Structure 1
Amino acid sequence: ASDNDSNDLFSEEAVNGGIRSAADPDPDFDAVKTFRAFKTVVDSSVIDRKLVPDHQLWRYYKLCGARKAFLHRRLPKHINPTLATGVIAETASIAKGIRSYPTTSSSSFEDLAAWKKTLESFELLGMDVSFMRKRVDELLFLLDASPSDDHPSEGYEEAMKLERARATEKVRALESKMASLKDALKEMDMEMEEIAGEKRGHADAMLQLAAAPW
């Protein structure tokens, strides 16, 4: 595409009406209060919102909001507008994939590896996506550390379950013995109380007899 064709990818919106202008090269994201006010500005020009699907632009807006920064703010000047638009849209798609990865059965190790390579290339372009790439690295680490279906730990897990069941039975047997011992102790306490009562009665009788009048 010619330079003119590339420039057509940017809206003709006045610089003063955009989020960024030549006089304001790196604005504070806090200035963006609504999605309507969110504009992706590259090299002092605003990318036409129609070039990025609404759902992807919304996701990218939320992503920037979470980081409180325009993730594309360090893209090189004079970058091809089509490339800039594609990078932003793909960043939004990868963010969705990462967030839904644990609950999406269709995702795989290959997806994570592909996302990592893509994010690394975006970082080289200047996109602020290192936090996303680190999240992918963490997911890859956990995936590598998790046992596979044919992992030998499966047999170990079964053995542990069996051992736990045996230990539970032993505990129940001990509890039963303890209950029996408690009952025996109660009976012994009652017998000792009876003996003590008899002794007290015998002692009282002896005292009465000894103190009785002649």
Structure 2
Amino acid sequence: MAIVQNPNKRHRPSSPTPPMVKRGKMVKMVIANIDSQASANERAKEVQANLPLKFPSFTKLMLPSHVYIVRHDCPNEVDIALSLLDLEGSMKHHDSVENDPNNVPMICDANQPDDQTIEDDEDLGSEILGGIRLSESTITFQQVTSIENFNIIVNGLVIDSELSQHLKTKYYELCSSQRMFLHENLLEGLNCKLVSGIICETINIADAIRASKITSPPGGFTIWSKTLKAFEAMGMNIGFLLARLDQLMGLASKSRRYEEARLERDRAEEERKVLEARIAEVKEIIDRLNGEIENSNMNFEKLEVVFQELAKSPW
């Protein structure tokens, strides 16, 4: 048991809250939280800047449902979940009315859940944080019947807002072809932006593979293969894309070899024609020279004798 003083809160019966009222409360909370998050983050950065450098530290944006405060006037130190949206105001009010004789002590059982806390948890479960929201439940792909109930859930967060509707549709088609969430085995703790980038690049590569031609440069296939292998190492279920890419690369390699052989044959044919033309020219020269030799009335020996006689003859 714990005693908590709260003059502004009366115990309410456990009657269910109408859905419209709950949705209205959620919208108001989200709007107020958008403004408070920026200032809270700035204050956290200021505190972190003043911490000693020898101790590692980091800041993290927490959801209201993650924060618990132990009130100093609770003898059993029962953790009481307080919404961050009401934290600052409620603490100031608590200090100002602590000595007010009109305060009415309220008995709360630590084992009995408070109605307001339950309602706050339900509201916070669907709270929107910059377009990314908490997942209300986890489903298998076999439970997905259409794109309407297809959500991209990473680390308990729905990151559909990180993708355009066009990309989400394409990703749904890829997942449907394999009957699984391609990202379901990704390493835990990856940043949502990184995951959305991996998904987008996977979609782009899948489209590029479909649009590729047998004459496409081999460098593109190599880059796609390296990228997909890196994604696979992080847990993406993209083995089917790698298998298709390997098959296409094999066919493209055979096509390039065929084209190279054809070009090499054409070059050899051209070289043969040049050589044949040269041979014909040489044959023609030989025939001409043979004719000159045959038509000569004197052979070499006779010419030498005549030469010597002329050289030694008297002046």
**TM-score higher than 0.5:** yes
Structure 2 residue runs of 5 or longer lacking an equivalent are 1-57, 63-127, 270-315
Question: Which structure shows the bigger proportion of residues in helix conformation?
Answer: 1
1:15 is displaced (CA, Å) by 1.8
Distance change >3 Å, CA 34–CA 143, structure 1 → 2:
same
Structure 1's consecutive aligned runs of 4 or more residues displaced over 6 angstroms after TM superposition are none
Q: Are 1:4 and 2:61 counterparts?
A: yes
More strand by share: 2
1:115-166: CA deviations, max 9, x gaps? 100100001100000111111111111111114686233558xx9xxxxxxx
Is 1:136 aligned to residue 245 of structure 2?
yes
Q: Are the equivalent residues in 1 in contact too, given 2:132–2:161 (CA < 8 A)?
A: no
Deviations 1:84-138 (A, max 9, x none): 11011111111111111128x7x52111111100100001100000111111111
- Match in the other structure for 2:157: 45
Q: Is the 2:135–2:153 contact (alpha carbons within 8 Å) kept by the matching residues of 1?
A: no
The normalised TM-score by structure 1 is 0.59
How much has 1:28 moved relative to structure 2?
Answer: 3.0
Q: What 5-or-longer segments of structure 1 have no aligned partner?
A: 21-26, 160-214
Structure 2 match to 1:36: 148
Q: Residue 9 of structure 1 contacts residue 82 of structure 1 at CA under 8 Å; is this kept in 2?
A: no
Q: Which has the larger radius of gyration?
A: 2
**CA-to-aligned-CA distance 1:157-177 (integer Å, 9 cap, x gap):** xx9xxxxxxxxxxxxxxxxxx
Give, in whole Å, the separation in 2 of the partners of 1:77 and 1:14.
16
Mapping 1:76-91, distance limit 5 Å = 76-91=187-202
The aligned amino acid for 2:61 is N
Residue 73 of structure 1 and its aligned partner are, at CA, apart by 0.3
Identical aligned residues as a percent: 28
2:214 is equivalent to residue 93 of structure 1:
no
Normalising by the residue count of structure 2, what TM-score does the alignment of the two structures yield?
A: 0.41
Going from structure 1 to structure 2, the CA distance change for 1:123 and 1:147 (only over 3 Å counts) comes to closer
Maintained 8 Å contact 2:135/2:156: no
The number of residue pairs the alignment matches comes to 144
Q: Is the 8 A contact 1:72 1:128 kept in 2?
A: yes
